[in-house]
Amino acid sequence: MDLRRHHCDTVFFLDYSMETALDGLERQRGTPRNDVPWEGEHPSPKVEQFAQEFPQTLRPAIVDKLRALDDVTVHVFSTRAEADRFVGEYRTPGSDASETV
């Protein structure tokens, strides 16, 4: 994150609840992803542990770094609906939703 934030003018932080994060993992069941290891039908215990510890271990440092950014627009979304509304405002007429996400 440190390297990227020095080269950007806008940041989008998906500050979702634990329930939303775990729901997102559940919805991806059966979808191969290199960054989320699965064990059969479930995310690996390491992925679930990371998701559960994130609010206490990594989130505070991320929030502090975002607050310290000068000349950078920071958008924080607490729900999928907020993010969807924002994306919807910038979707071009006739575009496919998959092209903008």
- pLDDT tens readout for residues 15-50: 999 899 888 888 887 777 777 777 777 778 888 888
Given a cut of 60, whether residue 99 has pLDDT beyond it is no
What confidence score (pLDDT) does residue 100 get?
42
Greater confidence (40 vs 89) lies with 89
* Secondary structure of the chain in HEC code, one letter for each residue: CHHHHCCCCEEEEECCCHHHHHHHHHHCCCCCCCCCCEECCEECHHHHHHHHHHHHHCHHHHHHHHHCCCCCEEEEECCHHHHHHHHHHHCCCCCCHHHHC
Looking at residue 3, its pLDDT comes to 60
More confident residue, 38 or 77: 77
> What is d(CA 9, CA 71) in angstroms, rounded to the nearest whole number?
7
Residue 96 above 90 pLDDT? no
